[in-house]
Structure 1
Amino acid sequence: MRCLIPILCLILFAPLGLSGQNLLPPIYNYRVFEYNAAGQNWGLSVNAHGELFGANDKGLLHFNGEEWVLNKLPNATIIRSVASVDDKIYTGSYEEFGYWKKNRTGVFEYTSLTQLITDHTFTNEEFWQIIPYGDKIAFRSFSTLYLYEEDSINIINPEFVVTNIAAVDNKILVASKSDRLYELVENKLQPIDTGSDLESFTIISMAPFQDGFIIGTQLNGAFLYRMGELEPFDEKINQLLKQHQLNKILAISSNEIAFGTIKNGIYLYNTKKKSIKNLNRATGLQNNTVLSMAKFDNQIWAGLENGIDRIDIESPISYFTDYSGSLGTTHDLVHTDSITYLGSNTGIYYLNNDFLNFINGSQGHVWDLEIIDNDIMAGHNTATFSLDESRLKKISQIAGGYQFVRVPESSATFLQGTYTGVAKYKRDNDNNWSISEINGIDFPVKQLCFEDARTLWAAHPYKGLFRFKLDENLTSVVEKKEFGSEVIPNIYQVKLYEIKNQIIIQSDGIWYKYDPIIAELSTFDEFKPYNQKSIMYADGEHFWFIDNGASKEITYTDLKGQTISINEGQLSERLVPDMERVIRKNDSIYLLTLSDGFAQINLAKLQRNLANTHIPSPKLSFFKDMEQAHTVRDSAFEISYPNSSDIGMQFSVPSLIKPRYYYELAGPMNKEGYSDHGTLSFQNLPHGEYTMSVSSVSMDNKKSTPTKLVFEIAPPWYLSTLSIMAYLLALVGIILLVRMYNRQKLKKKHETLKIKLEREQDERMAKLEKEKLEKEIRGKQNELARTTMSVAKKNELILELKDLMLVNKDAFPNKSRYRSLTKKLDSSINEDEDWKQFEMNFKELHNDYFENLLKQYPKLTPKDLKLCAYLKMNLSTKEIVPLMAITVRGVEIHRYRLRKKLGIDSSQNLSSFLIKFK
């Protein structure tokens, strides 16, 4: 039983090794579906601008930093080799080699060189290497060398199988299979004395290095040949190369070499430090078979069995990545001596000697790792543990330890925010812990800060900010204050920090500080430039912020003028939202939690790189409109208006990995902004001249010298010069026509007005004539009436005298005198004369009246007409009597008879009828 106890302890506390790897540079994978070609890339070459060219199974692959383009050979054969020389890209394939060159629109066109060969027939040859040296280009198949110079080709026919060639000091070295090494001198092969070490070895790769060159064999490792001596590489690296089958060699610097293998990716070997780093499928490469490699600046391009990878070997940011998924998401980490501890959602791990080890018993979600004196405290989902190297000890059953803070003025008392409130930890002299929970705090607390030894600030994980006064023993809350929306703009997701003995709060992206003298929060002006950024690390002198927006930009500052911004795509993509945390490893090294491991940032190296790195200006790759691609040139582009509805252009900076761009479009329409890619398009721009300025943006947001592009959108046809001239002529014509029209209109208006005036004059004259006539008629009517009435009065008076004389007849003694007087009275009543005068006046007023009556009523007598005339004048019976010299009875009888002749019944007024009759 005694023997079993130590065995059980070893089982319980022994760490589980998960993986072994170094901190590695960033690796960027370009998958087959991204570049849309075949998986195998047999050769890679980079030109002076940093553009990549790949010898792919489907053709020549070109990457300008923004876009992949596949260029196929006329015979569509596999391209086995590629070399960029000046502005030409040489390729070799099956029984074919030649070069590619961009045409005026930026498209690569192929020119074959095999037509220069005479008196030679290919025998199933494929060209696996292209090496420029001096003014020549060497093309290698397994059986022959072809040397191209000034439009001529020399053919070298070795008597052995050629497995590799290399250019060293403008000389061509030629390797034979299972034989020896040769040098090409004046088109003749001369053997190189390397001793017997290379006999029966197959040389598959060679590269210049230091003052000699490296010789790589297929199964027997690598050798360095210099000063006439052949020396094998260190046994440690050679064993790996033998085991995993060396395939390609690339000299990176004077001390560093990249070895590409068939079975295990790339080995980065430092000849000075004897250090080895392995990049393989487990550490980020797409697969382990390396078919080709190329270098540009501090980047390695690797052509793999299935895909292409890009490695930034001098990046100040390196990564530890757990590709197995066992680690999970890293939430916190600490570093002690040479060991880094990681707390993740799956447990606690430690990294020692490049191996990641799991600590048994720690499985579960880890929120917090803190170094407390010589112990590491782990706030866990289920409890709180102390950690001594790899030994785990549970010290508290309280679930969900978020954060440890030391109580001011105390070396052995700590508080911890938990799922259920705040826990108090006190350690005695025997290193034993006593734990209790503070009364009065019964909600989750994620962040804690002390204002003083008795005043505690606490932030809820989701909603709320609180300030507590504690009793002397830190056991209970004696005063509580909650800050609501009237004090801070947003009570959700409040963040709390203690910086330089000040309580600092972030709410809704805005920074505030608490003033204990006036007991109020006010904006924290020192952090104003960092609004909308969260703190990942702060020690009073060094600060790390992360942008809360989509960019996830990381900013380091000392608040004394030194500020560095980091925009690194891979880093931003792997951060854990709201769980970003930085720890300081030493003066210049910082560690950052990631979703699948952690990153190490070498701040000093980053500062050097940014200070010494030239930011290249973007290069115009193409310019096209709706219908066509334009010639890539420095002069201005002109675009017809119909083709201007969609304008596209592409700028690229191949030397930068995933560069950002800043562009400004100036012209009739102005636009500006940042872009994560160099392909820009604009729709429906107004016509006119534009200047496009594009700058590449470095990691720290500095801009390069802008590349400027001038283009002009021609006006639409209806705004062209001829059209404008036509418009002017038309305008002049219209003006003349308008003037003529206005003149005609004015003339017509004058005529119309004249006619109107004449008409009005005539109407006025007619009216005056009418009024005059009416006046005359009224006068005649009045005269007729007066005359008629005068006659009537006269006749009435005569009749009265006659009647009076008749009554007094007997009073006249002289009868003859009586008769004479009576005759005179009768003669005074001259009815015919009176009627003629009346008739004449009546006819002047009522022309054709009698004719119309007779025409309609022909039976009317002259006496009837006379009565009709009197009735038309609206004379009464009494007034008619003296005019007709008859009695009233006689007039009424005559009226009755007239009514009969006119056919008028008794209901109709006779006078009204005759008055209305025309």
Structure 2
Amino acid sequence: MKIAVILFFVLLGSLHGQDVPPIRNFTPSDYGAENQNWSVTQGRDKLIYIANNKGLLVYNGSSWSLYPSPNKTIMRSVKAIGDRIYSGFYMDFGFWERDSYGVLRYTSLTRRLDIDMVPDEEFWTILEIDGYIIFQSLDRIYVYNPSDESVARIEARTSITKIFVVDAVLYFQRKGLGVFRVENGSEVLVSNHPVLLEDEVINIFLEPGGLLVLTSDSGFFRLRPEGLEAWEIPVNPMLKASRTYSAIQLRQGGFMVGTISKGGYHLDRRGNLVRQYDQLSGLGNNTVLALFEDRDANIWLGLDNGVSYINPESPFAKFDDKRGDVGSVYAARAHDGFLYLGTNQGLFYKSVGSTGEFALVEGTKGQVWSLDAIDDTLFCGHHTGTFVIEGSQALRIDADSGTWKVARLPGNPQWLIQGKYDGLSILEKEGRLWKVRNKIDGFEHSSRFVEVLDRTVFVNHEYKGIFKVATDPGFSKAVSVTVDTTLIGYDSGIIKYGGELLYAYSEGIFRYDPEGDRFVKDTTLKAVYGKEKNLSGRMHVDPTNNSLWLFGESSIYLVSPGNLLGNPKVQVIPLAEKERNGIVGYESLGVLPEPGNYLIGTRSGYMVIDLNRYAPKEFNIALASVRYEGRHLQSGSESLAEIAKAGEFTHRENNLDFSFFTGEYVPFRPPMYQYRLDGFYPDWSPWSENSQASFRNLPPGKYTFQVRARIGDQLSGNTASYPFVIAQPWYRTRLMWAIYALMLALAGWVIHTQYRNYYRKKQNRLLERNQRELDLARARNEREIVKLKNDQLRKDFRKKSNELAASTMSIIKKNEILNRVRKQIQDRFRDSGSIQPIIQIIDQSLGQDDDWELFKEAFNHSDREFLNKLKAAHPELSPNDIRLCAYLRLNLTSKEIAPLFNISPRSVEIKRYRLRKKMGLEHDENLVNYLLTL
């Protein structure tokens, strides 16, 4: 027993000197939930689902999401099966499914199937076997058939601690009764060994010849037909001392065991300890509640305080000196079976492949700058001088001043050149020992980077430039010293590679041109970095394969000799500076004995790169969600859009947020994303680790959001896209444009009409004014014409009147004369019968109407309307009455009228009287005045 305990502590101490694969830790503040995580699983979409005290955690490689427990209780179990994520809580179990918006929606099977549960029942394990889903509480096992929505129950006589599926068979442990399996729906006792009655079974694994049982306090046991026997492996004392809580069998055949107080133990298939993962080695917490191996062989650990995952198959491993015993590594070298680390605290060593601690080489305490293996000798450039290292011993061969570097001197294998704090010096080999031969006089500058071409020594000084030191044949003094100040750069460096001298700093790589005696930009290596600038000018040459190592900000570049055309081959190792935590300007590279393995120094240890494991693999990118927000919404209010179909948004919903993920979990090589918005931003954005893209105040139009990912230099196999349309506002739709066109046409027509009417009115007013002026002129002319006509008429009237008066008077006179003639004839020849014919002729002349007709014609010319008005007013008048009226209108007296009728004046008076009566005139109404008014 004492030997086992001693072995346990020896192993435990040695583990802390191991190189461990990358570990990524997440704290509760990272994922936004409670500290305890009870179960881990992975879905078809490669997302990680974790049962947390607060609910279901979802991790997509870039961001976390939390779905709180539907009943506000602790989620104890989770299992991804098909497109469903099954989970178990306090007094409830069910499944989650994604809707068209990418959001998980929960369905409670206990409520859906109306399952009567035991009080205070919690579901600790979910398994799948032959299409059935198994939910286990401490009191029952529920067997759910998704095809017909049925549930069968296995009641517990005693508490059921855990259930297991091994080779398609369901096993479970009843407390105090042993381990059982289910056959044909019935439970069959497998073993009731005392260990299995008292100790909790953590897991059961299948191995050739039987089962392998892991218990909480007693370690591993083999379950054979003949009984239970302990599996005697070195790790059992550790497991017993730390109490096991969880365990899984890895696909490679090994095991991962989680403990309550010592973290996790990685065992190989034979039970040998590969590594221990605890807080000292980088794990987030020492209590491992859940273990899960994902599709890419990452091991996820649900911890009592946080979540971690380990990438055992990673090409990277890391030694992190958390205790500060080793320090920052400035140089590394594998030599004669030992691995040496030159740090700011001294030179440390251990055997290659050992899991033990690094030890300090006696006498080397202090800053180590370089480790140069030349032939079979290892030289250490130290702050106090130069050492030759043999195993765990260090022999100081130069204590003059600090040494930056030791290098070969071409053409003389017995001499070496040293770059010192205060210049250059020569080492000479005498027998098997090296000693200082001389210092090169005439050059006293700090010589951190030294290279020799022919007899010229090139020294790079970061602040002064590149010195060219020509020496005498014995390298005892500097014959000439020149300095090229055209290239001065902080963290710059020079190195010989492929027979050429290279200079590098942040702006690129330059090659020395001997003919021009100057450094020119290297056209062959300029494509190495692309658009990335050198992080520093530190370069390393691997003599085993003649490769050149360069350090960029986002990657390390390995340049190998090219093909027949001479073009170099470049391998990009995506290891960013922030991940490798290197010492900028002092990057160190050590070649390890295993082919393809290299050591790179960091500020607190080192990293190991295994190029044999570095093989980029295909991966895809997917959209996680599309959220849109409108300016009219209150702050914080947002909505999700359906991912599977094209989006249609109103002009107010023009603020969009896109989330995306790759589902790849690669520590030290986080996914980088690049996106563009076709229709708005046609160019790809810069690469970024940000897995979200936001666009604000997008104008109406058609768009396609595209995003792709990169891990290292490997692009995603697809480009995720999301087409969408932001509609025009209602006042800019086609209908409204048609209405606008119609309104514009109508407005144009109205304006045209108004203008036309205006100008027409104006024209009409002008025409009216002109017409008025014309009419006025015409009226004046007409008045003049009328006046002239009236004057003429008056003249004609006077003439006619005169003619009428003359005619009337002529008739009167004629009649008077005839009457006198008749009277005289009658008086003189009263009795004579011979005058009777004359009297008849006179009477006949007096009685003819010719005079009247002549008078009427003249009267009509002077007063043509009177007779018509008279007839219209008094149609009953006789022609004689009308004749009398005409005479009266001429204002003739009865005496003047009498001759015209050939009657006496008395008879005329009688006619006038009769005429008045016919006209109905009053007694006092004047007949002549009446006739004059007609």
TM-score normalised by length of structure 1: 0.75
In 1, the alpha carbon distance for the partners of 2:576 and 2:466 equals: 34
Contact 2:76 2:122 in 1 (8 A): yes
Alpha-carbon offset, residue 169 of structure 1: 3.0
Deviation at 1:18, TM superposition (A): 9.0
1:724 is the counterpart of 2:737: yes
Pick from 558, 563, 570: which aligns with 1:563?
A: 570
Question: Cα distance, 1:327 vs. partner?
Answer: 2.0
> Which residue in 1 is equivalent to 2:292?
294
In structure 2, what residue type is equivalent to 1:654? G
Q: CA deviation at 1:208?
A: 5.0
Superposition pairs of residues 204-603 of structure 1, within 5 angstroms: 204-208=202-206, 213-225=211-223, 232-271=230-269, 274-297=272-295, 298-352=297-351, 353-355=354-356, 356-452=358-454, 454-485=455-486, 488=487, 490=488, 492-530=490-528, 532-533=533-534, 534=537, 536-539=539-542, 541-546=545-550, 548-549=552-553, 551-555=554-558, 557-560=560-563, 562-568=569-575, 572-586=579-593, 587-603=595-611
CA distance in 1, matches of 2:370, 2:582: 17
Figure out how many residues of one structure are paired with residues of the other and give that number. Answer: 732
Partner of 1:661: 673
1:691-717 CA distance string (max 9 Å, x none): 222222132333322122111121233
Mapped to 2, the partners of 1:251 and 1:471 lie a distance apart of 69
CA distance 1:327–1:718, shift in 2 (3 Å): farther
For the residue of structure 1 that corresponds to 2:511, the secondary structure is strand
Counterpart AA for 2:313: E
Give secondary structure in 1 for the equivalent of 2:736: helix
Q: Which residue of 2 aligns with 1:617?
A: 621
Partner residue of 1:125? 121
* Pair 1:420–1:724, CA change in 2 (3 A): same
SS at match of 2:652: helix
Contact 1:178/1:201, CA 8 A, preserved across alignment:
no
Name the amino acid aligned to 2:331.
Answer: D
Q: Partners in 2 of 1:570 and 1:215 — Cα distance?
A: 45
Which position in structure 2 is the counterpart of 1:636? 646
Quick one: which amino acid aligns to residue 190 of structure 2?
A: I
Is the CA contact (8 Å cut-off) linking 2:203 and 2:248 kept in structure 1?
no
User: 149, 156, 161: which is aligned to 1:163?
Assistant: 161
Structure 2 Cα separation of the partners of residues 211 and 529 of structure 1: 58
Higher mean Cα deviation, 429-438 or 675-684?
429-438
- Quote how far apart the aligned CAs of 1:22 are: 2.4
Query: Alpha-carbon deviation of 1:602?
Result: 1.2
1:426-460 CA-to-partner distances (Å, cap 9, x unmatched) read: 221151412532222222121011111x2100001
SS in 1 for 2:714: coil
- Report what 2:746 is aligned to: 733
Which amino acid in the other structure matches residue 77 of structure 1?
A: T
1:100 counterpart = 2:127: no
Whole-angstrom distance in 2 between the partners of 1:592 and 1:746:
93
Q: 1:107 to 1:710 in 2, by over 3 A?
A: same
- Unaligned ranges ≥5, structure 2: 1-12, 631-636, 772-934
Q: 2:704 is matched with which residue?
A: 691
Which AA in structure 1 matches 2:332?
A: L
Q: CA deviation at 1:744?
A: 5.7
Bigger Cα displacement from structure 2, 153-162 vs 228-237: 228-237
CA distance in 2, matches of 1:638, 1:238: 62
TM-score normalized with structure 2 length: 0.73
SS at match of 2:157: coil
CA offset at residue 491 of structure 1? Answer: 5.1
1:719 offset after TM fit, Å? 2.0
Alpha carbons 1:209, 1:251 under 8 Å: kept? no
CA contact (8 A) 2:288 2:301 kept: yes
Q: Which residue of the partner structure matches residue 108 of structure 2?
A: 112
Mapped contact 1:296–1:655 kept (Cα < 8 A): no
Kindly provide the CA deviation profile for residues 8-44 of structure 1, in whole angstroms up to 9, marking residues without a partner as x.
Answer: xxxxxxxxx9973322211011112101111111111
1:23 and 2:35 equivalent? Answer: no
Superposition deviation, residue 285 in structure 1: 0.2
Distance 1:714 1:599 in 2: 54
Q: Secondary structure at the match of 2:677?
A: strand
User: 3-state DSSP class of the match of 1:642?
Assistant: coil
**Structure 1 portions without partners, runs of 5+:** 1-16, 759-918
CA deviations on 1:608-650 (whole Å, 9 max, x unpaired) are x32xx22223343444344533343322011222121x21011
Distance 2:439 2:176 in 1: 78
CA RMSD of aligned residues (A): 3.0
Say if 2:406 and 2:416, in contact at 8 Å, map to a contact too.
yes
Deviation string for 1:264-314 (max 9, x for gaps)? 111111125945211111111012111001111211110111110011111
For 1:705-720, list aligned pairs within 5 A: 705-720=718-733
Distance 1:104 1:502 in 2: 61
CA-to-aligned-CA distance 1:64-117 (integer Å, 9 cap, x gap): 222212222233111111111222222222222222223332222322222367
Q: Which residue does the alignment assign to 2:44?
A: 48
The separation in 1 between residues aligned to 2:602 and 2:559, in whole angstroms, is 18
Q: Identify the residue that residue 139 of structure 1 maps to in structure 2.
A: 135
Opposite residue 360 of structure 2, the aligned amino acid is F
Measure, in 2, the Cα distance between the counterparts of 1:514 and 1:219.
68
Matched residue SS, 1:128? strand
3-state SS in 1 of match to 2:612:
helix
What do the CA deviations read for 1:238-281 (whole angstroms, capped 9, x no partner)?
A: 22222222221111124221111112111111125945211111
Secondary structure at 1:335 match in 2: strand
Measured at CA, do residues 50 and 234 of structure 1 come closer, stay the same or move farther in structure 2, by a change above 3 Å? farther
User: Residues of 1 paired with 2:515 and 2:521: CA distance?
Assistant: 15
SS at match of 2:524: helix
- Aligned ranges 1:73-84 → 2 under 5 Å: 73-84=69-80
SS at 2:512 equivalent: strand
Looking at structure 2, the residues matched to 324 and 219 of structure 1 have their Cα atoms a distance apart, in angstroms, of 31
Q: 1:665 to 1:556 in 2, by over 3 A?
A: farther
Change (3 A) 1:407 1:634: same
What is the CA-CA distance between 1:319 and the residue it aligns to?
Answer: 1.4
Q: d(CA) in 1 for partners of 2:139 and 2:489?
A: 77
Q: Determine helix, strand or coil for the equivalent of 1:236.
A: coil
Q: CA deviation at 1:400?
A: 3.0
Give the Cα separation in 1 of the matches to 2:348 and 2:241: 31
Partner-residue secondary structure (3-state), 1:729: helix
Partner SS state of residue 613, structure 2: helix
Q: CA deviation at 1:178?
A: 4.4
Which residue of the partner structure matches residue 916 of structure 2? none
In 2, the alpha carbon distance for the partners of 1:322 and 1:92 equals: 41
Q: Distance in 1 between matches of 2:671 and 2:136?
A: 37
For residues 135 and 373 of structure 1, the distance between their equivalents in structure 2, rounded to whole angstroms, comes to: 66
Contact 1:398 1:418 in 2 (8 A): no
Partners of 2:492 and 2:538 within 8 A in 1: no
Question: SS of 1:728's equivalent?
Answer: helix
| In structure 2, distance between residues paired with 1:228 and 1:665 | 69
Which residue number in structure 1 is paired with residue 613 of structure 2? 605
Shifted more, 568-577 versus 359-368: the winner is 568-577
Report if the CA contact (8 A) 1:28-1:309 is conserved.
Answer: yes
Q: Distance in 1 between matches of 2:755 and 2:189?
A: 105
